[in-house]
């Protein structure tokens, strides 16, 4: 009998504890859920995505030049991201057509075709493209000189060509091709920074003006027009593409600033890395991508 009463007291005590636990909001905790797998990442595009500026100044004799330490590698270093492939190449244009295709460098279209397997399972794709197609090389050749008239004529022609919508259509078509190959991916489309800070005055070497303020203003205007074209292409593409403007991040860090995030070695004016992000600039690109796309949230989808 005593044992029976003790058993009833124990059961009542246990029941009371259960009721108290419910009153206080204590419930049994489920097993900890496994963390989501890292976001799978593929990179495409031109020299900015190929890492130019993060390493050597000049391109070796290869068809596709990449430099380690670029923004793609920095994004890959995030614990939430796993880089599957970086297919970007220095000097890449969108399509293998004149006047800026060099006949060697894999175009963005060719990169997409070569990366079909990697793209098929990608959660994230990043791309920089359009600068070479817009005539950035011509602009820098004309404007990184004291010749203000040549610079003005060149930039005017570039902006007028952008206004025709040809490049916008080509970019939108490219984003659509990426989305078809990577149906579940968010496409991070990064723009380009303004290269000069005209408030710093003319760029002068040994008493000789190399890049006057007027040319700096004109180059920045061309870059603004290019970024607007890229943003419009993203909007019109009907894809999961997101435009990431890096202009504000680079304020105060132009090539002629006290703390430049863009390469300019005037002792080697023809160096391929000139006018590309230096390591700090690539860090800014990586930060812009990660803060906009937020891989941790993307992984939960």
Answer yes or no: is 126 within a domain.
yes
State the Cα–Cα distance between residues 145 and 202, nearest whole angstrom. 11
pLDDT at residue 26, rounded to an integer: 39
28-42, 80-94, 130-144, 255-269: the lowest-pLDDT one: 28-42
pLDDT at residue 35, rounded to an integer: 67
The mean pLDDT value for 32-43 works out to 81
Domain that holds residue 78: 32-134+166-194+227-300
DSSP state of 85: E
Strands 203-205 and 208-211: antiparallel
Strand order in the sheet with 81-86: 81-86, 39-45, 124-128, 186-190, 241-244
Counting Cβ atoms within 10 Å, is residue 31 exposed (0-12), middle (13-18) or buried (19+)?
A: exposed
Answer yes or no: is 39 within a domain.
yes
pLDDT at residue 33, rounded to an integer: 55
pLDDT tens readout for residues 51-62: 999 999 999 999
State the Cα–Cα distance between residues 190 and 200, nearest whole angstrom. 26
CATH code of the domain in which 90 resides: 3.40.50.1110
State the Cα–Cα distance between residues 167 and 134, nearest whole angstrom. 7
pLDDT at residue 59, rounded to an integer: 95
Answer yes or no: is 145 within a domain.
no
Instruction: Name the nearest CA neighbour of 48 among 244, 236, 211.
Output: 244
Answer yes or no: is 288 within a domain.
yes
pLDDT at residue 221, rounded to an integer: 98
Answer yes or no: is 281 within a domain.
yes
Work out the pLDDT band at 93, boundaries 50, 70, 90: very high
Counting Cβ atoms within 10 Å, is residue 82 exposed (0-12), middle (13-18) or buried (19+)?
A: middle
State the Cα–Cα distance between residues 48 and 35, nearest whole angstrom. 32
Answer yes or no: is 153 within a domain.
no
Cβ count within 10 A of residue 144 = 23
Q: Which residues contact 224 (CB under 8 A, 6 or more apart)?
A: 194, 247
State the Cα–Cα distance between residues 182 and 173, nearest whole angstrom. 14
State if pTM tops 0.85: yes
> In the chain, how many domains are there?
1
Instruction: Name the nearest CA neighbour of 133 among 173, 93, 97.
Output: 93
Answer yes or no: is 235 within a domain.
yes
State the Cα–Cα distance between residues 263 and 258, nearest whole angstrom. 13
Answer yes or no: is 5 within a domain.
no
Cβ count within 10 A of residue 161 = 16
Work out the pLDDT band at 250, boundaries 50, 70, 90: very high
């Amino acid at each position: 009998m005593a044992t029976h009463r003790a058993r009833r007291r124990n059961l009542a005590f246990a029941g009371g504890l259960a009721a108290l636990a419910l009153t206080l909001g204590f419930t049994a905790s489920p097993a900890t859920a496994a963390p989501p797998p890292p976001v799978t990442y593929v990179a495409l595009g031109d020299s900015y995505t190929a890492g130019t500026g993060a390493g050597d100044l000049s391109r070796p004799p290869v068809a596709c030049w990449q430099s380690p330490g670029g923004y793609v590698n920095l994004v890959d270093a995030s614990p939430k991201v796993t880089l599957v492939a970086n297919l970007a190449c220095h000097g890449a244009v969108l399509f293998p057509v004149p006047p800026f295709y060099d006949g060697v460098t894999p175009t963005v279209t060719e990169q997409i075709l070569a990366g079909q397997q990697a793209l098929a399972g990608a959660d994230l794709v990043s791309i920089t493209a359009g600068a070479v197609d817009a005539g950035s090389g011509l602009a820098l050749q004309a404007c990184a000189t004291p010749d203000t008239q040549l610079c003005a004529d060149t930039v005017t022609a570039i902006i007028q060509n952008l206004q025709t919508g040809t490049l916008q259509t080509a970019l939108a078509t490219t984003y659509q091709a990426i989305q078809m190959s990577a149906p579940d991916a968010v496409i991070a489309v990064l723009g380009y920074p303004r290269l000069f800070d005209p408030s710093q005055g003319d760029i002068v070497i040994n008493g000789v003006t190399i890049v006057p303020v007027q040319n700096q203003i004109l180059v920045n205007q061309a870059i603004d027009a290019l970024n607007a074209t890229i943003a419009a292409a993203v909007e019109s593409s009907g894809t999961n593409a997101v435009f990431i403007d890096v202009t504000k991040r680079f304020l105060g860090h132009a090539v002629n600033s006290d703390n430049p995030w863009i390469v300019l070695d005037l002792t080697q004016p023809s160096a391929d890395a000139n006018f590309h992000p230096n390591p700090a600039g690539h860090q800014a690109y990586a930060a812009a991508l990660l803060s906009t796309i937020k891989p941790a949230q993307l992984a939960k989808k």
